[in-house]
Chains A and B, each alone.
Chain A
Amino acid sequence: KQEVTQIPAALSVPEGENLVLNCSFTDSAIYNLQWFRQDPGKGLTSLLLIQSSQREQTSGRLNASLDKSSGRSTLYIAASQPGDSATYLCAAYNYGQNFVFGPGTRLSVLP
């Protein structure tokens, strides 16, 4: 059974810093992995989806990588801004199953 973890649970950084969020999964036979952003009191917004055949995806200041052999994905945020403050969740999809979500990392970017 796929299990997804995210460490740390919370992270505070000063504005302008580059940062990395981590996502680990136990079953390396994933089909793809998706990163989401969740603002307080809101639903999840899909940021990036990485297929198993890809090693990374980029969107603006965000870059997500996928290493199936080590069971890890990272979300890199460049030049962080206070508006990036949110909870970031990852979810792993194994073919024929459903997405399994991690508990999320709560990010605070301090002005």
Chain B
Amino acid sequence: NAGVTQTPKFRILKIGQSMTLQCTQDMNHNYMYWYRQDPGMGLKLIYYSVGAGITDKGEVPNGYNVSRSTTEDFPLRLELAAPSQTSVYFCASSPGQGNSPLHFGNGTRLTVT
């Protein structure tokens, strides 16, 4: 059982470039989330989705976009990368909102130079 899978594991971008971070889950969870983790800080919510076709902004959505065309996939798009987007990005899923454990992927470490 793969759980939550994120690709790539590492990526270096130049300022102004764009990329998509991939996230897929095989647990048939309705809820999916994108977080970023900066050193010494807790995880900050970027975007979340409560089901296919439905997405909403979290605490720090600026500079990012998401889509949810299927239950399994929840890609995160970075347009015009900036050094402030250097971070570790985590995708997570859960069967319900708040009353179920969150399942995390292993993260994508992104550096923007």
Contact = CB atoms under 8 A, between A and B. Distances in A.
Nearest to B43: A101
Contacts of B58: 98
Contact of B42 (A34, A43, A93, A101): A101
Contact of B98 (A9, A41, A44, A95): A95
Interface in A11-39: 31-32, 34, 36
B35 to A, nearest CB: 8
Interface in B89-111: 90, 92, 98-107
Interface string A56-90: 00000000000000000000000000000000010
Query: What class of interface size applies to chain B in its complex with A?
Result: 20 to 34
Contact of B107 (A9, A34, A42, A91): A42
Nearest to A89: B42
10 contacts: A32-B99, A36-B102, A42-B106, A42-B107, A43-B90, A46-B101, A46-B103, A51-B99, A101-B44, A103-B40
What are the 8 A-B residue pairs with the smallest beta carbon separation, nearest first? A43-B104, A101-B42, A46-B101, A93-B98, A101-B43, A44-B104, A43-B106, A103-B42
B45 to A, nearest CB: 5
